[in-house]
Structure 1
Amino acid sequence: MKYQPISEVRSASEIRSTLPLPMTRDERIKRWAMLLEANPDRQIQTLSEIETEHGRQRDILRADNSALTVAFEDPVLRSEGLRSDTLADAITFFGLRECDAHYVLCSCLNGQTMAAGAVASKVRGLAGQRASLVATCMIVGALMAFPVAVALL
């Protein structure tokens, strides 16, 4: 046995605990998609016409058995900081743009219900594909504005 001074023994025996790193935006989104894919035939409620709500009413928008409910039921996502299954909390937690949320969650694009597998596909598309979603958002915005423009003429 080799003699070592107590100071060296103490430094060698220190136990260092490291907390797990917080999930990245893409990891959160992929987990959400995975949760939806776990039961792909489950019928998921959409949020009713997101674009017609404003301010506080829009922030608290939610639906029972929505894709946001699936995310909020997950203890891992809650431990990462998901506070509720409302639209505002999901936008903040998942780092969604308004048009991302509209594309994935709104009834005007998706009907009143969707199969969880179809929602999962849309959610998974949000991870790492920011440029293509900009184009989608612009197209959706133009389509929504078209009836208004026609009515004004």
Structure 2
Amino acid sequence: MKHQSRDELRTVADITAKPVYLDRTQRLQRWSELLGRDPNRSLAALAGTEYRAPRERDVMRSDGSPLSVAFEDPVLREEGLGNDTYGEAKRFFDISDEQLHEIVCYCHVGDRMMAARAAYCVRAVIGGHGVFA
């Protein structure tokens, strides 16, 4: 067998890195860690998630929100996070409307929240309970 470098192998084969598969808890932990990297970062809250019709709520998003922090991460995108909308986060992280509401809604924090607060709320979901439960 002849030794070849990766570059040499790429000319004759399609070489891709083995995909990482994270379970639900690992996905949530990663999101919490991403938020925790800059705990004082000011993030945008989503307005009135609990009052929106499901179709309208599912497409809600905001630049600089806790959802966009998750979507900025190449690992979570590789895992299948398709965008930074409410509905996509609910699907990808496999969380309820009530749980996601506690993480992103403005009714608890006003227009802005600290990343540390969002990270705390994500960790509460990992623990199997809500922040206000």
TM > 0.5: yes
- Residue 68 to residue 59, structure 1, CA distance change in 2 (3 Å): same
Which ranges in structure 2 are unaligned for 5 or more consecutive residues? Answer: 1-16
> Of 130, 133, 136, which aligns to 2:130?
133
SS at match of 1:56: helix
Deviation at 1:133, TM superposition (A): 2.9
Cα RMSD after superposing both structures: 1.8
2:51 corresponds to: 52
How many angstroms apart in 1 are the aligned matches of 2:132 and 2:42? Answer: 28
The answer to whether structure 1 residue 74 and structure 2 residue 61 are counterparts is no
For the pair shown, the structure with the greater C-alpha radius of gyration is 1
Query: Higher helix share goes to which structure?
Result: 1
Tell me the matched-pair count: 117
How do 1:135-150 and structure 2 match up within 5 A? 136=133
2:91 corresponds to: 92
SS at match of 2:130: helix
How many angstroms apart in 2 are the aligned matches of 1:19 and 1:72? Answer: 21
TM-score (norm 1): 0.71
Deviation at 1:134, TM superposition (A): 9.7
How do 1:26-65 and structure 2 match up within 5 A? 26-65=25-64
SS at match of 2:39: coil
How many angstroms apart in 2 are the aligned matches of 1:133 and 1:115? Answer: 18
**Contact map agreement 2:71 2:84 (CA 8 A) in 1:** yes
> Deviation per CA, 1:103-150, whole angstroms, max 9, x where unpaired?
1110012221111111111112211x22x33972xxxxxxxxxxxxxx
1:124 corresponds to: 123
How many angstroms apart in 2 are the aligned matches of 1:135 and 1:36? Answer: 20
Which ranges in structure 1 are unaligned for 5 or more consecutive residues? Answer: 1-17, 137-153
**Contact map agreement 2:32 2:123 (CA 8 A) in 1:** yes
2:5 corresponds to: none
Q: What percentage of aligned pairs have identical amino acids?
A: 38
**Contact map agreement 2:121 2:130 (CA 8 A) in 1:** no
